[in-house]
Structure 1
């Protein structure tokens, strides 16, 4: 794979505009190359020929050469075609390249190239500097949160009476730099507090953020982040002065942030209850606080990893493009320019690398009980691997579905079922029961197509929907589930394709009539199964969003919630099919295959209520009015001569599902473009503690 494609493939989608425009710089180099090819004389056909002469100079094989004494540094400067300088503008550093050979023929093309190269580098350097400043502020915030957490742990653990918190915390602070891995069962009780994670705080603090160019001097080194991790004994002694004990007095200045998470908390906030509560030192609150801070650290760590990858990729891109320039122009400019890149903030700052190491140490010690492997498994994303069994199973079930469709078609034609006297009754009863699964399968096919195209065009749907890292479904996973449901449905239709009733009782066989209900119950059981089978995390995510949609006024509306509500507005007919299940099996009509539901005023009233529920949850929407209100066909009772009424309803409902699938793609793409415009690649994680800002300022 060429570097340009690999470079684009590894970009953070939301930061794409902040990366070096490698493709455009390549086009500028092509202009330089084309000019040089036009200006150079054509090569002599047949190769270079020289006239033979009788006398040619011979310098000998062992003759010593006489060299003039020239300063190599001066010689190197004189041979360089460019000169790079730094300029202070509005308090920030920018870099400008002067092309020293502009007087040469075609030099204007190279001047344009270096002008755009400087623009790209200054853009990248400025963006990287701003993001580093953001993570430094977040590090300081997380430091304060950790101080409160450790003090909270000590209060909850309630050590024995001989435990002096101030003395013990001072002792812990002096030993905070010790590696978490060295904690052993012989560690004093105060350090582990009944075997729980360490109460010592690894401090994330910042004396100052380096705004200028890093030169590697000791003065700048002292201004870097002081974050106690695994260091040498000399570093431990040096940093002990910067280590602060997690004083219990910090709890006097903090409150718990209570964001509405349940209907009760939402109602309380609506009734003007305070969103902040007094600290209650119990294990329930401690677990909640630890979970929130754990998620905050995981998200913070992902941001650091992406920032590190951003600096590495861009530095590599500048190296590649300058080497390409040297190869095209036969100059030696890459060394000078890349030296500037190495000395710039982008190439020399190591704040992110240090933070990554020390966040790993902090997370391991405080959130994974000093088990480094478990801690890193939580911090680092687990890449989803394409499993061959998923591909094989999807193809196999697709073949089964196609075979069942063919078998069903041949059986209907061979038995002339549509000409049977009971065909009308069958369509009125069995067709609505099985059409439910048809609507769901069609919707899943559309969603699988959306996932495929989102991934192909690098729309970050995992971040947009807030899927857990590594748990998002691929389009093959969605297709697998769709074909499983399609195969089961078609097999059920074949098993229930019987119109003959018992001549003595005038009843249909009970078991065959219960097949659709059994299939519905099977799907519900699998969907709500608490065991870790059949994509448990995705099922839990779906059920959570579904519950939020039902209790919409009592929960904060997020994108997954209203996105799911939008899907239900296109599944009105499927919801009516569920209503028909309740009526058909609840009233006992299935024994005689009678459809008395449509003659019931209660059923008709609920048909309108069911149709309104999705729109009530989502509200009526900018677009496609005809298909959006296709469910009105069942009210206005449109009919065509060549289609059965149930078939007409199903076709219109299917068109609405297709319309919704197309709309889904553009809706998520629009959300992605909003994130790109704001360079928003991370979700905000609520922090558990809220500090009293007034007291902080007094301190």
Structure 2
């Protein structure tokens, strides 16, 4: 793979515009090549000369000789083995002498611009300088951000350690009494260390080096002294590693003579300055927040496990940030090296060394804050969150990349082939037996078809989701980050296709086993065993979904169940993107919810024994026929209300009104389909038209970000991932057409060769297809918003809220 493609594939998707524009610089080099080809005659090679010209160059010796004419050793432009007249560029850094400030720029001066074609190379170096300054500034800004976050994590860790002390010693009389006593012990230990250091200074070096180092001996004495005087206090922070970051207000280390550092517990006063964040993330906390119930803010051992879990996730995410920053620095340095080597090769000049020296001296090439911070984070995480087990801690911080397994592809192909064969076999059997023209076919379509159509809706939705994943990956939409999947557990399109094809095989096999159109002439009943096949299949799918064992993608199943719970319990849970994205998927599965209602009625009331459909004549069933259709939209409405009160964004209120209009339209269309009155038809027309127009406009403008009049891409948006603009216009037209598929319900549009239930299934499938198309462009717009704001990290809430004002007062 060429470096340009490899460089693009390894970029952080949300930072792609912050990387060095390698592709554009290559186009500038191609302009230089084309100019040389136009102005310089081609080199003619004698017909009899077979070897490369390099075979006839002077032998340079076996020992590599450093220093070439035209190279510069440093940005100070000292010549390296040649006169200053042979230099190609002069480089200089316009920055502060003490530090690299934000307004510091690097600039190169091309000395050969007077030559023919020099303007091309001058343009190249100007753009190269711009790219270096852009990358350098972005990297420094991001490093400053992680350093500030590291300072916050220091305070969080101090509070955690103090909370551990209090949790393990709940009977302490006073936090401050213990802290004062501990300060006295630390002061006494400091005196002991000072005395030991003085004795150590008077001891000959040879005597001190004969055995175990005295520094280590004194440290052991001091630690033993502290432990003996601490009584029953079992402080987990007493042996804090010296490689951990120092804190500001509650430092863990004390400087000793001869550079000795002694450990001491973190002061417990910090517990008086911190409070737990009240994020209203659970139903209980939400209800208490609404009722304004005063919470006991005193920290105790009950909070310890929750705080440790939050801080563990925070450290994992923080470490991923550092890894991305390190990768960003490495890739850009490599890109500058590659592009300068290409320049030297094309122009036959020697300018790369002097320019790359400037790159190495820049903040991008010389800063080591990220590397040091990664080491500190590793040491802290291993000690405090993995019980000093380095292998376990590193495996958590550096999860292995997910490997593509051949058995997944093989199994997927096997199930797809089996499903295709079963489908063809089903069609041939129906055709050969002329089942559609038998007397029991109508009864079969009214009873068994709604049961099996449920699996058709699920399979179609999963298949479209697999297609979404495939195209998201192809166009580098970072869907695992957007959805918040745990790294290494997200499903690829092969896994999704495997699940959908597996369900399709089970469903089609069940249909083939249950094509009986005749009842028992004696008992006047159908075979109970075959009639229970759909119910058994539903129980199997539900059982696998809720299975607690680590089989069939447990992490993804539990993620789905968690998001479903958050959607069902809206607005009691804080609304995140996966929650409302799943709720939007459920709004396209109205007919699947009605099929589940029919399952309960058909098997609960015993209709399956006689294959009769008495459900539609029952008032309770009719009532729930309304309710199950509006439940998904009600979930989304409540989610919008929650976000409106939390974010104070009026657009969430308008979005909630959109879903409320859809609820009204569904109620009116359902009432018309059951009652068939002129009034219901008019109301269904009005409400459905309003909901359809508003929803279509919202999809295209707000969810997809299209139809921007002043966009660089007329009527689309400035940034597009798909190069063919016709795809976007086609998606707009398709969304408009499929949004108004409800017209079939109002107009009573029927097809002679399709049963009514089959027509309902077709319309429901069209809505699922529309949702599949909507998914891609909705996530594309979300991804581009993240790219515009350079958001590449998950926001993990910190458990403690540190009172900064009190800390400042204490510092004074």
- CA displacement at 1:33 relative to structure 2: 1.3
Given that 2:88 and 2:350 are in contact with CA atoms closer than 8 Å, whether structure 1 keeps it comes out as yes
Structure 1 residues 24 and 191: alpha-carbon distance in aligned structure 2, compared to 1, 3 A threshold: farther
Partner residue, 1:667 = 778
Partner residue, 1:3 = 3
Partner residue, 1:116 = 127
Partner residue, 2:298 = 279
Structure 1 residues 525 and 198: alpha-carbon distance in aligned structure 2, compared to 1, 3 A threshold: farther
Give the secondary-structure state (helix, strand or coil) at the position aligned to 1:204. coil
C-alpha distance in structure 2 between counterparts of 1:21 and 1:72, whole Å: 30
Cα distance per residue 1:378-437 (max 9 Å; x no partner): 111221100111111111111110111111111111111111110010011000000000
Structure 1 residues 365 and 169: alpha-carbon distance in aligned structure 2, compared to 1, 3 A threshold: farther
C-alpha distance in structure 1 between counterparts of 2:160 and 2:582, whole Å: 36
Give the secondary-structure state (helix, strand or coil) at the position aligned to 1:258. coil
Structure 1 residues 258 and 45: alpha-carbon distance in aligned structure 2, compared to 1, 3 A threshold: closer
Structure 1 residues 568 and 636: alpha-carbon distance in aligned structure 2, compared to 1, 3 A threshold: farther
Structure 1 residues 391 and 192: alpha-carbon distance in aligned structure 2, compared to 1, 3 A threshold: farther
Which of 676, 679, 691 is the equivalent residue of 2:790? 679
- After TM superposition, the structure 1 stretch with the greater mean CA deviation from structure 2, 598-607 or 684-693, is 598-607
Q: How many residues align?
A: 645
C-alpha distance in structure 2 between counterparts of 1:200 and 1:313, whole Å: 35
Structure 1 residues 235 and 638: alpha-carbon distance in aligned structure 2, compared to 1, 3 A threshold: farther
Partner residue, 1:57 = none
C-alpha distance in structure 2 between counterparts of 1:300 and 1:490, whole Å: 48
Quick check: 1:365 aligned with 2:383?
yes
**Runs of 5+ consecutive residues of structure 2 not aligned to the other structure:** 50-77, 194-214, 638-658, 660-694, 700-734
Give the secondary-structure state (helix, strand or coil) at the position aligned to 2:161. helix
Given that 1:197 and 1:369 are in contact with CA atoms closer than 8 Å, whether structure 2 keeps it comes out as no
- CA displacement at 1:631 relative to structure 2: 5.5
Given that 1:169 and 1:246 are in contact with CA atoms closer than 8 Å, whether structure 2 keeps it comes out as no
Structure 1 residues 583 and 188: alpha-carbon distance in aligned structure 2, compared to 1, 3 A threshold: same
**Runs of 5+ consecutive residues of structure 1 not aligned to the other structure:** 50-70, 208-225, 229-233
C-alpha distance in structure 2 between counterparts of 1:80 and 1:397, whole Å: 66
Given that 1:85 and 1:96 are in contact with CA atoms closer than 8 Å, whether structure 2 keeps it comes out as yes
Structure 1 residues 143 and 561: alpha-carbon distance in aligned structure 2, compared to 1, 3 A threshold: same
Which of 59, 79, 91 is the equivalent residue of 1:84? 91
Cα distance per residue 1:605-631 (max 9 Å; x no partner): 211211111122224231446634645
Partner residue, 1:656 = 767
Given that 1:342 and 1:348 are in contact with CA atoms closer than 8 Å, whether structure 2 keeps it comes out as yes
- CA displacement at 1:453 relative to structure 2: 0.6
Structure 1 residues 197 and 532: alpha-carbon distance in aligned structure 2, compared to 1, 3 A threshold: farther
Quick check: 1:247 aligned with 2:233?
no
- CA displacement at 1:641 relative to structure 2: 2.2
Structure with larger RCO (C-alpha < 8 A, sep 6+) = 1
C-alpha distance in structure 2 between counterparts of 1:126 and 1:664, whole Å: 35
Structure 1 residues 239 and 583: alpha-carbon distance in aligned structure 2, compared to 1, 3 A threshold: farther
C-alpha distance in structure 2 between counterparts of 1:172 and 1:541, whole Å: 51
Quick check: 1:568 aligned with 2:586?
yes
Quick check: 1:326 aligned with 2:344?
yes
- After TM superposition, the structure 1 stretch with the greater mean CA deviation from structure 2, 29-38 or 323-332, is 29-38
Which of 525, 545, 552 is the equivalent residue of 1:527? 545
Given that 2:15 and 2:787 are in contact with CA atoms closer than 8 Å, whether structure 1 keeps it comes out as yes
Cα distance per residue 1:467-510 (max 9 Å; x no partner): 11111000000011001100000111011111121111100111
C-alpha distance in structure 2 between counterparts of 1:653 and 1:237, whole Å: 78
- CA displacement at 1:637 relative to structure 2: 4.2
Give the secondary-structure state (helix, strand or coil) at the position aligned to 2:600. helix
- CA displacement at 1:192 relative to structure 2: 12
C-alpha distance in structure 2 between counterparts of 1:414 and 1:314, whole Å: 66
Quick check: 1:403 aligned with 2:421?
yes
Partner residue, 1:130 = 141
RMSD over equivalenced CA pairs, Å? 3.0
Given that 2:154 and 2:247 are in contact with CA atoms closer than 8 Å, whether structure 1 keeps it comes out as no
C-alpha distance in structure 2 between counterparts of 1:492 and 1:130, whole Å: 60
C-alpha distance in structure 2 between counterparts of 1:386 and 1:197, whole Å: 42
Which of 363, 369, 383 is the equivalent residue of 1:345? 363
Given that 2:244 and 2:376 are in contact with CA atoms closer than 8 Å, whether structure 1 keeps it comes out as no
Quick check: 1:96 aligned with 2:107?
yes
C-alpha distance in structure 2 between counterparts of 1:248 and 1:206, whole Å: 14
Given that 2:412 and 2:497 are in contact with CA atoms closer than 8 Å, whether structure 1 keeps it comes out as yes
Given that 2:164 and 2:235 are in contact with CA atoms closer than 8 Å, whether structure 1 keeps it comes out as no
Cα distance per residue 1:102-136 (max 9 Å; x no partner): 11111100000000000000000000000000010
Partner residue, 2:512 = 494
- CA displacement at 1:328 relative to structure 2: 0.5
1:255-274 aligned within 5 A:
255-273=275-293
Which of 230, 240, 246 is the equivalent residue of 1:200? 240
Give the secondary-structure state (helix, strand or coil) at the position aligned to 2:575. coil
1:129-528 aligned within 5 A:
129-158=140-169, 165-166=182-183, 200=240, 203-205=244-246, 238=259, 240=261, 245-273=265-293, 277-282=296-301, 284-528=302-546
Give the secondary-structure state (helix, strand or coil) at the position aligned to 2:276. strand
Structure 1 residues 43 and 636: alpha-carbon distance in aligned structure 2, compared to 1, 3 A threshold: closer
C-alpha distance in structure 2 between counterparts of 1:137 and 1:551, whole Å: 36
C-alpha distance in structure 1 between counterparts of 2:547 and 2:368, whole Å: 47
Partner residue, 1:639 = 750
Partner residue, 1:15 = 15
C-alpha distance in structure 2 between counterparts of 1:128 and 1:192, whole Å: 48
Partner residue, 2:59 = none
